[in-house]
Chain A
């Protein structure tokens, strides 16, 4: 309940405040979002599994976002930013799909 309320509050805040993304942060925002979506889908799956632990969720959310952005940053410095972003996105997308498949099995038994 609190989580759903938090999501709604966050979206409303974002639309109302329209936070300006600092220029140096802009390349990493999409990757960070995908990483965050991965953490959230994993948390939802764990909740359905009965294995949800809030500590794991908070830590995995923050670390996913930071690590994904850090990998892309490192890639940018090394000149392979585009390729590394692709790699990160592929892995995260696969994880999101795997989580979505598990959630689907739980909800629809299919």
Chain B
């Protein structure tokens, strides 16, 4: 700080002329400090004896206002801690809606399967009349098996994949991925499987095996591990051809590299259900697809 040029004009407490800019830029803060931050109450201090005694009504009024504050505080705390009734009610309502929607879907699915059986019965009744019809009926039955319209039962192979019990590292959790199931399914088709289902979801020409987040979807249905891939076909042939093919190679690589648990077993009785309704395309049924 340089010495003022005219000491007589400026007292020690007077603002400097050159502090004009500072005063202008600081005016917001000083106003804030003086007005906004000041007390709401009149500042002339009175001795306790001079003030009129506060009436009971005034004290009660104050008490009521403070009670309102306590009420708001407690309410906000309860609300913020998530113990509030609103949030749990929301969750319960959502869970109920999900359950109801799932139940409705299951009911419709059952309807579809029942109606399909009726259609099949009517078809066979109509076609069994003459020789040409019977040929058609045989062809129809073959095609229905191929597209997954009817459930199948018979000897086959079961491949069970499960996530590794002990992840090898934080990055490598040893989880079964959608592409692993794709490789197994393709390997089983290559080996000559007649029908395949994964955790009871029949694979058709329109089934996609893909992941959504951490879950694997087959035909848009989320699956839970372990993943049981059931294939119908001659067990010995299926097993040897699958083991020699790309599916078997993929599985061995998974076991060696990631610790994924794989069990392959031949079964004398494998059940593969009919496909879900939306996975079978009927001619002209879904033009807007």
**Which residue numbers of A lie inside 8 Å of B, CB to CB?**
2-15, 18-21, 26, 29-30, 32-33, 36-37, 39-40, 42-43, 45-46, 49-58, 60-62, 91, 94-95, 98-99, 102
Taken residue by residue from 18 to 47, chain B's Cβ proximity to chain A (1 for < 8 Å, 0 otherwise) reads as 000000000000001000110111111111
Q: Which of B37, B72, B84 contacts A95 (CB 8 A)?
A: B37
Is the CB–CB distance between A61 and B69 below 8 Å? yes
A106-B63 Cα distance, complex, nearest whole Å: 23
- Known contacts: A33-B76, A42-B40. The answer to whether A14 contacts B70 by CB under 8 A is yes
CA A39 – CA B73 in complex, angstroms? 14
Whether B117 is near chain A, meaning CB under 8 Å from some CB there, is no
Whether A53 pairs with B48 at a CB distance below 8 angstroms is no
Name the residue on A nearest B48 (C-beta).
Answer: A50
Contact of B71 (CB < 8 Å), options: A19, A40, A54, A60: A19
Complex interface: stretch among B9-17, B54-62, B200-208, B259-267: B54-62
**Closest Cβ of chain B: how far from A71's Cβ, in Å?**
13
B73 in complex: contacting residue of A2, A33, A91, CB < 8 Å: A33
Q: Are A45 and B68 in contact (CB under 8 A)?
A: no
Instruction: Report which B residues bind A (CB closer than 8 A).
Output: 32, 36-37, 39-48, 51, 54, 58-79, 83-86
Majority SS at the chain B contact face? helix
Smallest CB gap from A40: residue in B: B69
Chain B residues with Cβ below 8 Å from A43 are: 41, 62
A65 to chain B, nearest CB (A): 9
Instruction: Knowing A18-B84, A42-B40, say if A7 contacts B66 (CB, 8 Å).
Output: yes
Interface CB pairs A-B, < 8 A, 20: A3-B59, A3-B63, A10-B67, A10-B71, A11-B71, A13-B71, A14-B73, A15-B74, A19-B71, A21-B75, A33-B76, A37-B69, A43-B41, A45-B39, A46-B40, A49-B45, A53-B42, A54-B58, A57-B62, A61-B65
**Known A6-B62, A11-B71; further 13 A-B contacts with Cβ < 8 A:** A6-B66, A11-B70, A11-B73, A13-B70, A21-B76, A21-B79, A29-B72, A45-B39, A46-B39, A51-B42, A51-B44, A56-B41, A91-B36
Q: Is the CB of B39 within 8 A of A49?
A: yes
Residues of B near A14 (CB, < 8 A) are: 70-75, 77-78
Query: With A18-B78, A21-B79 known to touch, is A58 a contact of B61 (CB < 8 Å)?
Result: yes
Let me know if A42 and B71 touch, CB within 8 A: no
Distance, CA A58 to CA B61, complexed state (A):
7
Complex Cα distance, B86 from A94, in Å, reads 33
**B72: A residues at CB distance < 8 A:** 10, 14, 29, 32-33, 36
Contacts of B74 in A (CB 8 A): 10-15
Q: Which residue of B lies closest to A5 (CB)?
A: B63
Q: How far is the CA of A7 from the CA of B70 in the complex (A)?
A: 5
Residue contact B85 to A55, C-beta cutoff 8 Å: no
Closest to A97 in B: B37
Query: B74: nearest residue on chain A (CB-CB)?
Result: A14
- Give the residue name and chain of the B residue nearest to A94 (CB): B37
B59 pairs with A8, CB closer than 8 A: no
Among residues of B, the one whose C-beta sits closest to the C-beta of A92 is B36
Shortest Cβ gap from A78 to chain B (Å): 21
How many Å from the CB of A4 to the closest CB on chain B? 8
- Chain A residues whose C-beta falls within 8 Å of the C-beta of B54 in the assembled complex: 54
CB of B102, distance to nearest CB on chain A (Å): 28
Identify the closest chain A residue to B54 (Cβ): A54
Q: Please report the C-alpha to C-alpha distance between residue A70 and residue B125 in the assembled complex, in whole angstroms.
A: 76
